[in-house]
Structure formats: structure tokens, C-alpha cells
Amino acid sequence: MADSLIDLIKVLRDRTGAGLMDCKGALLANDCDLDKATDWLREKGLAKAAKKADRIAAEGLALTIPCGCGNRVVILEVNCETDFVAKGEQFHDFVESIGKNLLANNYASLEAAKDGVKDLVADATVKMGEKFDLRRYQILKKEDGQEFGTYLHMGGKIAVALILENGSAELAKGLAMHIAANNPSYLTLNDVPADVLAHERDVQREAAKNDPKFASKPAEFQEKILDGKLNKYFSEMTLASQTYLMDDSKNVSQVLKDNGASIKCFVRYQVGEGIEKRHDDFASEVMKEINK
């Protein structure tokens, strides 16, 4: 088996939770196309219900840093090579210095920001001996009547920043903690892009073809069944529909309504999400499975 196929199997297994041989079969059946192989596994019921972004594989730190005036906050992720460096005070101070630089400068793009902090990065590389990367950032700005909600989990493995309209600082903090724990992809169902909805509908339709009861239903009833499956699938991914972390008798939408509040926007960064980290023993693990 080629090393490239082994690498693809690793990615597909992390993405779907399916078994090694199922992942191999899916890739071979779909010309090693990861997206098609993912759908193939889901349609055959072999993939676990896991989102692609759940693959966490890089070291670094995610932080939220407020500006001195209090009306802006930056959320950023900076990656490094080792967990040892990521946990150090020196790296934490370095990431803070980048955040303050981002707040002080109105960079037009991520590439412009990287160029703007390149001297800080070069200096840190000399001091700590690792390669560093400003992976992403976003600056949030609030207005009168709005509150920031920020939360760091595990010292900066997960960072959340949100803007709450007409709500208390306590509620904003609770919502930030909820977002950290539940990882919503969208605010409401209306925020899910049309192409994402259409793609998921196709996946659910193909998966349902394996159910004789579904196949026996009239076309209009099949569409209603698919509507129900889509609502269930996306309700777990939309913040408003999720059961609130601080009160499991209500969903987030009800909590906001009870408080006369609304969420303007939210950002959640989890260090390394979507970046593959090398596992030196994976090839031998695959070969053992193949040679059984």
C-alpha cells in the first residue's frame, strides 16, 4: 500500500470514525477523493456522526485580548511545533504581543497581518527555536447596549468571543462557555448556506435508499422524511437549537428570548482544528490490520 494511501486512510478515519478497512474500501471506490469517500461511508452507514472540524492535530494557543478602550476584542490562533512550547509562559506572552499588534493596526488581510508581525515571529523563533504561524484572527467591535462574551478553555486550547445584544455580562459569559463546549457551526438554521443544505439532503437521500420502508413511501412523504432528518442533523450544529449548557430545560433560543437578548455574532477557535498531525506509528497500524 502506498504511503499516500495510508495517509489518506488516516485522514478519512479521523474525519469519519470509520474502521481502517472501511476507509480503505471507500477511498478505492472513489478514486481516493476524500470528500466522496466521506459521503460514501455516510451513505452506507459506516461513518460516525462527527463533523469534519473535530479533527484536532496541531499545537499552539488561542486567545482573546481586549483593547484598552473596551469596545474591541481580538480572537486569534498561533501555532507552534510542540506542546512543550505551547504550554510555556514565553509562548503565551508572544501570542499576546501578536494580539496587541493586531488591535493596534488595521491590516487589510491575514497575509498583511502576517507580514506586519514577521519581526515578532522571527524574534520568537530565535528565542524558542520553533517555527510559529499566525493561523487566523478576527477583531470584534461592539456598540452601546452590547456585551462581549469571552471564554478560554484548557488555558487556550479553545477560545470563544461573541457579541451579545441587550444582555448581561453574565449571560454573555455563559453563552461563550456553551459555545466552547458544544461547538456550533451556525447561529440558526437560516444561516446554513444553501449549498451545504443541498449537499446534506443528497447524502441523507442516498442513505435512506437502504431503508425499504423509505423506498415504499410516496415521493412527497419521502421529502418530508428528509426534511425531518435535515432538521435533526442541523439542529445539533446550530447554536439557537442546542440545549443550553447552564440550563438543560431550555435551548439557547429560549434563553435569549427570556432575557430579551440576541447574539450578533460569535467566533470559536480550537487549536489545530483541521490540521493533520503526523502519527509515526500509523503506517504499521494499517499494515497490521491489512495482514490479519
Does the pLDDT value for residue 288 go beyond 80?
no
pLDDT for res 180: 97
Percent of the chain with pLDDT over 90: 57
Judged against a pLDDT cut of 90, whether residue 41 lies above it is answered with: no
Share of the chain above pLDDT 70, in %: 89
Q: What is the grid cell recorded at 224?
A: 418530508
Residue 55 pLDDT: 37
Query: Is 29 a residue whose pLDDT tops 70?
Result: yes
Enter the C-alpha cell of residue 173. 459569559
**Residue where the block lists cell 490490520:** 289
Per-residue confidence band for 171, with pLDDT thresholds at 50, 70 and 90: very high
Question: In CATH, what class is 59-187+251-270?
Answer: alpha beta
Q: Which stretch, 55-64, 91-100, 129-138, 223-232, has highest mean pLDDT?
A: 91-100
Question: What is the model's pLDDT at position 54?
Answer: 43
**Whether 100 contacts 84, CB under 8 Å:** no
Q: Give the pLDDT score at 86.
A: 94
Query: What would the pLDDT profile of 219-277 be if each residue is shown by its tens digit?
Result: 888 888 888 888 888 888 999 999 999 999 999 999 999 999 999 999 999 999 877 65
Residue 291 pLDDT:
57
Q: How many Cα atoms are found within 13 Å in the side-chain-facing hemisphere of 167?
A: 26
Contact between 160 and 267 under an 8 Å Cβ cutoff? The reply is yes
Higher per-residue confidence, 9 vs 142? 142
pLDDT digits (tens, 9 = 90+) for 178-233: 999 999 999 999 999 999 999 998 988 888 888 888 878 888 888 888 888 888 88
Q: What are the domain boundaries of the chain?
A: 1-55+277-292, 59-187+251-270
pLDDT, residue 141, reads 98
Judge whether 76 and 96 are in contact, CB under 8 Å. no
Q: What is the DSSP string of 227-249?
A: HHHHHHHHHTTBGGGSBPTT-TT
Which residues lie closer than 8 Å to 75 by C-beta, 6 or more apart?
62, 63, 64, 137, 138, 140, 150, 159, 160, 161, 267, 269
Predicted pLDDT of residue 129:
82
Mean pLDDT along residues 99-126 = 94
For 144-166, write each residue's pLDDT tens digit: 999 999 999 999 999 999 999 99
Q: Do domains 1-55+277-292 and 59-187+251-270 have the same CATH topology?
A: no
Mean pLDDT in residue range 117-141: 92
pTM over 0.75: no
Residue 1 pLDDT > 70: no
Q: Is residue 43 predicted with pLDDT exceeding 90? A: no
Name which of 183, 158, 180 is nearest 77 in CA terms: 158
User: Using an 8 Å Cβ cutoff, are 273 and 5 in contact?
Assistant: no
Q: Which CATH class is domain 1-55+277-292?
A: mainly alpha
Q: What is the arithmetic mean of pLDDT over 81-93?
A: 93
pLDDT computed for residue 49 by the predictor: 43
